[in-house]
Structure 1
Amino acid sequence: MSDLKQQALDYHEHPRPGKISVEASKPCATQAELSLAYTPGVAEPVRAIAENPENAYRYTNKGNLVAVITDGTAILGLGNLGPLAAKPVMEGKGVLFKRFANIDVFDIEVQAPSVEQFIETVANIAPTFGGINLEDIAAPHCFAIEKALTERLDIPVFHDDQHGTAVIICAGLINAVHLQGKELDKVKIVCLGAGAAGIASMNLLIEMGARRENITLVDSKGVIHKGRSDLNEFKQQFAKETDQRTLLQAMTGADVFVGVSGPNLVSQDMVKAMAERPVVFALANPDPEILPKDAHAARDDLIMATGRSDFPNQVNNVLGFPFIFRGALDARARRITRPMLVAAARALAELAREPVPHEVLKAYNVDKLEFGKEYILPKPFDPRLIQRVPQAVAAAATK
């Protein structure tokens, strides 16, 4: 067993199993406190909430409680291993919500035989929460689930694998394209991976100024074009009239490559075929579509990002979901809208252009970080994130 594997298992097992727990937020050490915490005192907030449901936000933790919910059909890069196997990931998500945005989480793993039953389960437990974070649900079911729940519920519903990933990708691309001296509405973009992350990212890029006709989506069968008869409704939105069929053909002359697919699918020849000053986001985890050393060996004029923390420019969802939810909860938003996501992406992009505080340099044990080819996104431990991103999201929500 490798050292890292044993360390991970020990971390999750000791000194007590798991990563999250529930702690009381009010004292309960005396008979008087007990009578307030439970009967008879608890009857008063019960009556107040029955009279006006909005009082739940005054007298319970609803307004700062998010459900992290999965069916375990797409766990990280491990696939469909079922809801119970997903629990360590959902607990981990809870740790990140608490650490970065002081949001409380219940992790919920649902054994649902059908999409409809999963939707009903989440809808039925929704009164408990101020928001719903859907996690590790396979495409295309994740699209239908999020749409149905968003329409039915009066609290924010967010699928992080779609929209959280999209926000960070867009924030990084705004800055990378800028540094390469190009404009978002003119660049040719290739996206390898047509699942939740790929489609959501391309849609958000379009919202931010990219042109649909400049985007080529590629899945495991090749370029998504109008001649194909195997496309679901979400892929059909990106089908185009083109003679391109292979990834190499699509990447020839492209300015931007976004990979949300699998390991080692991009060759050096593909990178060489791209336009001058290209941007390569190889985000498959843990093994990217192409390793940075190989991409840089092919081109000396590119900007490279991956999903890994041991390379520069990590595209990390923790830059997004805690702060997006913090802003949505603070604004008491009923939805997380596309303008809120755009606001989050722009806030992240702008923050990366500012001088980096000393405490961030210390946290990452580096002498210098400044906006440039190896620093296009803020670092997760940047203390400015909790002010900037939630504020931008909340402002967009109030509009």
Structure 2
Amino acid sequence: MSDDFNQRALDYHAREPAGKLAIHVTKPTATQDDLSLAYSPGVAAPVRAIADNPDEVYRYTGKGNLVAVITDGTAVLGLGNTGALASKPVMEGKGVLFKTFAGVDVFDIEVDAAQPEDFINTVARIAGGFGGINLEDIAAPHCFEIERRLSERLDIPVFHDDQHGTAIITAAGLLNALSIQGKNLADARIVCVGAGAAGIASMQLLVRLGASKHLIHMVDRNGVIHSHREDLNEHKQIFAVDTEDRTLEDACRDADVFIGLSGPDILTPDMLRSMAPNPVIFALSNPDPEIQPDLARETRDDLIMATGRSDYPNQVNNVLGFPFIFRGALDVRARRINDAMLVAATHAIADLAREPVPQSVLDAYGRDHLEFGPDYILPTPFDPRLIETIPEAVARAARDSGVART
């Protein structure tokens, strides 16, 4: 990014008041009587009520609309392990998105914990005051253990957005892209470059949606993840396939789908040319994708392409998912976010892209026309129907699967 843009970003964050989040009071505080109700002695009444019946905390406090965005700072954006403190601008930014798009309040919490055990214990001990936990920017493979153990230990939703948020938006876009290309998920040969949190979670969700695991070739920095490798952790081992393919070049041959969650310029024109007719390319490394869209389109005129960038069509943007998924989970006081809720969110997002686009969206993007097709496989973040459709789909799945309290 340019020096000018970096300076504008610094100026933006430094503008008074510093940072991007603040706390505001929701009840009257104009008189002595107001204060006596807000704090002592009036506050004793809800304390006693909650002590007698813990569910009353949802009635008398903000727990039911409050999410903790929590990180250890080990995988911040594309910057790597910056440490917990330096991650705070990102966590505040996540809070801005929660509040702007779904009306969810956020406390950002940066935990200085070198070991998963320390992080897990810290989060578990403070979780009672929150309606949900959004884990953010935690490196693999620790992120898998952290999410699993906290989900088992806590009675509120725990959601690692880098895993499941990316997976949901990717899967929704892919379902639509394959449909346009005349293909179906069950028969698609899929190459996924990047076997970290996002890659593994995305492939797991695609399998739940009907993809064939034996047709998925995951590729890490050591090549194709195959059944004869002895350097695989338990999470990669799930996707080890019996194949003679060893390189990304091998894996791309006759593949229907390329999903990149790795780094820039990894997919070469020759690899793209070797793929099956009507391929789908999701080059999601940000800001520099696995292949530049202009180069990809020069190489193949029959592809559908998505990136993580807002300046190209078909942006895979997690803000389409996490605010609304938590909105639905909080609305029914869900105990967790389970597979049924992830699948419901995926289909809700995919289906919304097939509906006529409202004028307000066209105005927001300066467009005269948008319709379902090769350059519009996902809704835009400013689509007002997201808040109307996704939370309800998630809430319904929570109720149907038995994890909703209300």
Give the TM-score of the pair, scaled to structure 2: 0.98
Using the TM superposition, give the Cα deviation of residue 173 of structure 1 relative to its aligned residue in structure 2, in angstroms. 0.2
Q: Matches of 2:120 and 2:232 in 1, distance apart?
A: 24
Q: Matches of 1:359 and 1:15 in 2, distance apart?
A: 31
What secondary structure sits across from 1:123 in the alignment? helix
- The answer for the alignment partner of 1:201 in structure 2 is 202
Letter in 2 for 1:207: R
Q: Matches of 2:187 and 2:230 in 1, distance apart?
A: 29
**5 Å matches for 1:174-185?**
174-185=175-186
Residue 61 (1) aligns with residue 77 (2): no
Using the TM superposition, give the Cα deviation of residue 41 of structure 1 relative to its aligned residue in structure 2, in angstroms. 0.4
Q: Kindly, what percent of the aligned residue pairs are identical?
A: 67
- The answer for the alignment partner of 2:41 in structure 1 is 40
Deviation track 1:259-312 (CA, whole Å, cap 9, x = no partner) reads 000111110111111000000000001100001001111100000000000010
- The answer for the alignment partner of 2:223 in structure 1 is 222
What secondary structure sits across from 2:356 in the alignment? coil
Q: Matches of 1:217 and 1:354 in 2, distance apart?
A: 33
- The answer for the alignment partner of 1:235 in structure 2 is 236
Letter in 1 for 2:245: Q
- The answer for the alignment partner of 2:276 in structure 1 is 275
What secondary structure sits across from 2:345 in the alignment? helix
Residue 84 (1) aligns with residue 46 (2): no
Residue 381 (1) aligns with residue 382 (2): yes
- The answer for the alignment partner of 1:301 in structure 2 is 302
What secondary structure sits across from 1:91 in the alignment? helix
Q: Matches of 1:26 and 1:110 in 2, distance apart?
A: 31
What secondary structure sits across from 2:187 in the alignment? coil
- The answer for the alignment partner of 1:16 in structure 2 is 17
Deviation track 1:66-97 (CA, whole Å, cap 9, x = no partner) reads 00000000001110010011000000000000
Using the TM superposition, give the Cα deviation of residue 59 of structure 1 relative to its aligned residue in structure 2, in angstroms. 0.2
Using the TM superposition, give the Cα deviation of residue 183 of structure 1 relative to its aligned residue in structure 2, in angstroms. 0.6
Q: Matches of 2:73 and 2:114 in 1, distance apart?
A: 12
Q: Matches of 2:275 and 2:343 in 1, distance apart?
A: 27
Deviation track 1:116-154 (CA, whole Å, cap 9, x = no partner) reads 000000000000100000000000000000000000000
Q: Matches of 2:50 and 2:92 in 1, distance apart?
A: 30
Q: Matches of 1:129 and 1:170 in 2, distance apart?
A: 29
- The answer for the alignment partner of 1:266 in structure 2 is 267
Q: How many residues align?
A: 399
- The answer for the alignment partner of 2:167 in structure 1 is 166
Deviation track 1:23-56 (CA, whole Å, cap 9, x = no partner) reads 0011111001000000010000000000000000
Residue 5 (1) aligns with residue 6 (2): yes
Q: Matches of 1:225 and 1:174 in 2, distance apart?
A: 26
Using the TM superposition, give the Cα deviation of residue 331 of structure 1 relative to its aligned residue in structure 2, in angstroms. 1.3
Q: Matches of 2:129 and 2:315 in 1, distance apart?
A: 34
- The answer for the alignment partner of 1:360 in structure 2 is 361
Structure 1 residue runs of 5 or longer lacking an equivalent are none
What secondary structure sits across from 2:109 in the alignment? strand
Q: Matches of 1:22 and 1:270 in 2, distance apart?
A: 51
What secondary structure sits across from 2:186 in the alignment? coil
- The answer for the alignment partner of 1:310 in structure 2 is 311
Letter in 1 for 2:181: Q
Using the TM superposition, give the Cα deviation of residue 15 of structure 1 relative to its aligned residue in structure 2, in angstroms. 2.3
Letter in 1 for 2:131: G
- The answer for the alignment partner of 2:293 in structure 1 is 292
Superposition CA RMSD, Å: 0.6
Residue 139 (1) aligns with residue 140 (2): yes
Q: Matches of 1:9 and 1:169 in 2, distance apart?
A: 31
Letter in 2 for 1:287: D
> Post-superposition, which runs of at least 4 consecutive aligned residues in structure 1 deviate over 3 A?
none
Using the TM superposition, give the Cα deviation of residue 16 of structure 1 relative to its aligned residue in structure 2, in angstroms. 1.7
Deviation track 1:235-272 (CA, whole Å, cap 9, x = no partner) reads 00000111100001001000000000011111011111
- The answer for the alignment partner of 1:249 in structure 2 is 250
What secondary structure sits across from 1:166 in the alignment? helix
Give the TM-score of the pair, scaled to structure 1: 0.99
Q: Matches of 1:297 and 1:375 in 2, distance apart?
A: 19
Q: Matches of 1:263 and 1:84 in 2, distance apart?
A: 28
Letter in 1 for 2:212: R
Using the TM superposition, give the Cα deviation of residue 113 of structure 1 relative to its aligned residue in structure 2, in angstroms. 2.4
- The answer for the alignment partner of 1:391 in structure 2 is 392
**5 Å matches for 1:120-139?**
120-139=121-140
